[in-house]
C-alpha cells in the first residue's frame, strides 16, 4: 500500500486581477486560479511524484468539474464530493495598493464549507501517512467538525498530523475569534507551520518565544517560514535555521503551500511517523535535507505565476 499525504479543506476558484491597485468593482480582467490552501498542498505533493489525496466538496456545476479536473491533472487522488446543496466556491480578489488582498465571496458559504464528517469515507484516511488541514475549514460547521473528526481518525490510524493555521483574517468574524479558534487546535497537530507574522498575531510574541509556546501547547514541531530567508524548524530540543534559495520571485502566491507540500512529501517518502518525527527533524543533516528541499519547492513556485500552475516537478527541484 502506498501511503499518501491526505489533505482536507477548502476548494475554490480565485478570480485574481490581471492588474493591481484597483477597487474590486473596477478590475477590468480576472485570471481564474484553482485553489484553496490544502488543495494546493495536495497538488504540490503529487507534482513532485508523491502520492496525495484531497478530500473536499464542490457544487454540481462547471467550476466544480474544473477543480476536480485540475487536481486530477496534477496527479492528486481527488476525493471530491459533488453536491446540489450549494455552488462551488468562487472568490473575487483585488490587490490594494498596500499589497493586502480584498476578497468578495460569491454565495458564501459555498459547497466546500458544507463537507460533513459522515461523508469522509474511512478508506480515504486508512492509507494516510500524513493528514494535513488548515484553519479556513474550521470557520464554520459542518466542515469544522469534518476537519477535526478526520484529524482524530487519521491519527488513530497512525498518520502524522500537519496543521497550517494559514490566518486569513477577513474570513473570520472577529480577529479574536480567529486567534482563539486557531490556538485551540494546535495540540491536535504533530507539526505546525506558521509565518513570523502569524506568530506575532496569534501570540503577540517574537519568533523563538512564539514557536516555543506552540510547542508547549502540544505541537511537536514548529516550522516558521521566513520568505526569501528560508525557514526555522524548532522542537523542544532543537532550533535549526535552513537558509532560503535565491531566486527572482515574480509571484509568491502559493509559495507557503508549495513549501508545506515539499516537507510533507519528504516526511512521507522517509516513512517518518508521529513517533519518529522529533528525532528526524532535530537531526541537523536530516532536517536540512527535508526543509532545504521544501525551501527549493517554495522558491521555484515564486518564479512563476499562480499557485498550482507554478508548482515544480521533482526533476526541477533536484536540478537546483
Ligand atoms: P507563507 O507566508 O505563506 O508561509 P512564505 O512567503 O514565507 O510563506 O514562503 C514559504 C516558503 O517559500 C519560504 O519559507 C521559502 O522557502 C520560500 N520562499 C518564499 N518567498 C521566497 C523568495 N522570495 N525567495 C526564495 N524563497 C522564497
Nearest to 42 by CA among 114, 105, 132: 132
What single string gives the DSSP state of each residue in 161-208? EEEE----GGGSS-HHHHHHHHHHTGGG-SEEEEEHHHHHHHHS--HH
Question: pLDDT value at position 16?
Answer: 87
Name the residue at shortest CA distance from atom 12 of ligand 1. 298
How many angstroms separate the CA atoms of 191 and 221, rounded? 5
How many angstroms separate the CA atoms of 130 and 5, rounded? 5
Question: pLDDT value at position 311?
Answer: 97
CA distances from 314 to 49, 64, 269, 317 (A): 7, 28, 13, 5
| Beta partners for residue 12, in sequence order | 35, 89
Which of 127, 257, 279, 283 is an active site residue?
257
Q: Which amino acids bring their CB within 6 angstroms of ligand 1?
A: 195, 225-228, 230-231, 244-245, 247, 249, 252, 255-256, 259, 295, 298-299, 302
How many angstroms separate the CA atoms of 52 and 265, rounded? 9
Question: Measured in angstroms, how far is the CA atom of residue 292 from the centroid of ligand 1?
Answer: 12
111-127 burial: b if 16+ Cβ within 10 Å, else e: bbbbbbeeebeeebbbb
Question: pLDDT value at position 255?
Answer: 96
Question: Measured in angstroms, how far is the CA atom of residue 259 from the centroid of ligand 1?
Answer: 7
Virtual CA dihedral for 193, 194, 196, 200, nearest 10 degrees? -140
Pocket probe mutation, ligand 1, options 169, 201, 253, 256, max atoms within 8 Å of Cβ: 256
Architecture of domain 4-10+36-88+108-318: 3-Layer(aba) Sandwich (3.40)
Query: Do you find a cis peptide bond into 109, omega within 30 degrees of 0?
Result: yes
Tell me the average pLDDT across 194-221: 97
Pocket probe mutation, ligand 1, options 200, 227, 246, 261, max atoms within 8 Å of Cβ: 227
Quickly state the pLDDT bin for 63 (edges 50, 70, 90). very high
Question: Measured in angstroms, how far is the CA atom of residue 25 from the centroid of ligand 1?
Answer: 30
ipTM greater than 0.95, yes or no?
A: yes
The ligand 1 atom nearest the CA atom of 226 = 7
What single string gives the DSSP state of each residue in 37-87? HHHHHHHHHHHTT--EEEEEEEESSHHHHHHHHHHHHHT-EEEEEEESSSP
Question: Measured in angstroms, how far is the CA atom of residue 196 from the centroid of ligand 1?
Answer: 11
| Beta partners for residue 91, in sequence order | 14, 105
- Cell numbers given for 3: 501511503
For the chain, give me the number of helices (H) and strands (E)? Answer: 11, 13
- Cell numbers given for 43: 497538488
Question: Measured in angstroms, how far is the CA atom of residue 229 from the centroid of ligand 1?
Answer: 8
How many angstroms separate the CA atoms of 43 and 21, rounded? 30
- pLDDT (tens digit, 9 = 90+) per residue, 123-179? 999 999 999 999 999 999 999 999 999 999 999 999 999 999 998 877 888 889 999
Question: Is 70 exceeded by the pLDDT of residue 99?
Answer: no
Name the residue at shortest CA distance from atom 1 of ligand 1. 256
| Chain-centroid distance, C-alpha 95 | 21
Name the residue at shortest CA distance from atom 24 of ligand 1. 228
Nearest to 224 by CA among 183, 192, 257, 185: 192
- pLDDT (tens digit, 9 = 90+) per residue, 124-136? 999 999 999 999 9
- pLDDT (tens digit, 9 = 90+) per residue, 272-301? 999 999 999 999 999 999 999 999 999 999
Domain ranges of the chain: 4-10+36-88+108-318
Question: pLDDT value at position 246?
Answer: 96
Q: How many CA atoms lie within 13 A of 207 on its CB side?
A: 14
Nearest to 245 by CA among 223, 267, 221, 229: 229
Query: Would you call 118 a catalytic residue per the annotation?
Result: no
Rounded to 5, what percent of the chain is helix, strand, coil? 45, 25, 30
pTM: 0.96
Q: How many residues does the chain have?
A: 320
> Considering the chain, what is the average pLDDT of its residues?
94
Question: Measured in angstroms, how far is the CA atom of residue 244 from the centroid of ligand 1?
Answer: 8
How many angstroms separate the CA atoms of 281 and 32, rounded? 37
Say which DSSP state 275 is in: T
Pocket probe mutation, ligand 1, options 226, 254, 255, 297, max atoms within 8 Å of Cβ: 255
The ligand 1 atom nearest the CA atom of 164 = 4
Question: Is 90 exceeded by the pLDDT of residue 20?
Answer: no
Percentage with pLDDT > 90 across the chain: 83
Amino acid at each position: 500500500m502506498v501511503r499518501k499525504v491526505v489533505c482536507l479543506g477548502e476548494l475554490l476558484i480565485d478570480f485574481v486581477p490581471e492588474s493591481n491597485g484597483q477597487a474590486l468593482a473596477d478590475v477590468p480582467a480576472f485570471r481564474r486560479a484553482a485553489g484553496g490552501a490544502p488543495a494546493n498542498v495536495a497538488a504540490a505533493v503529487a507534482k513532485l511524484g508523491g502520492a496525495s489525496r484531497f478530500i473536499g466538496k464542490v457544487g454540481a456545476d462547471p467550476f466544480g468539474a474544473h477543480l476536480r479536473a485540475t487536481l486530477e491533472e496534477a496527479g492528486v487522488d481527488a476525493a471530491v464530493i459533488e453536491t446540489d446543496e450549494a455552488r462551488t466556491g468562487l472568490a473575487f480578489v483585488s490587490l490594494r495598493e498596500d499589497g493586502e488582498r480584498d476578497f468578495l465571496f460569491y454565495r458564501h458559504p459555498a459547497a466546500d464549507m458544507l463537507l460533513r464528517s459522515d461523508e469522509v469515507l474511512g478508506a480515504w484516511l486508512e492509507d494516510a501517512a500524513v493528514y494535513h488541514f488548515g484553519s479556513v475549514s474550521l470557520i464554520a460547521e459542518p466542515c469544522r467538525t469534518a476537519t477535526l473528526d478526520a484529524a482524530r481518525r487519521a491519527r488513530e490510524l497512525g498518520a502524522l498530523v500537519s496543521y497550517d493555521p494559514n490566518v486569513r483574517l477577513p474570513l473570520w468574524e472577529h480577529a479574536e475569534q480567529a486567534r482563539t479558534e486557531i490556538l485551540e487546535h494546535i495540540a491536535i497537530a504533530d507539526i505546525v507551520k506558521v509565518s513570523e507574522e502569524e506568530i506575532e498575531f496569534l501570540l503577540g510574541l517574537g519568533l523563538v518565544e512564539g514557536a516555543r509556546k506552540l510547542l508547549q501547547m502540544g505541537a511537536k514541531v514548529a516550522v516558521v517560514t521566513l520568505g526569501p530567508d528560508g525557514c526555522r524548524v524548532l522542537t523542544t530540543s532543537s532550533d535549526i535555521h535552513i537558509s532560503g534559495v535565491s531566486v527572482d520571485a515574480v509571484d509568491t502566491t502559493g509559495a507557503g503551500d508549495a513549501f508545506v507540500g515539499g516537507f510533507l512529501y519528504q516526511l512521507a517518502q522517509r516513512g517518518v511517523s508521529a513517533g519518529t518525527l522529533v528525532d528526524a527533524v532535530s537531526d541537523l543533516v536530516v532536517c536540512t535535507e527535508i526543509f532545504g528541499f521544501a525551501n527549493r519547492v517554495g522558491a521555484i513556485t515564486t518564479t512563476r505565476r499562480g499557485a498550482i500552475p507554478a508548482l515544480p516537478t521533482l526533476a526541477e527541484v533536484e536540478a537546483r
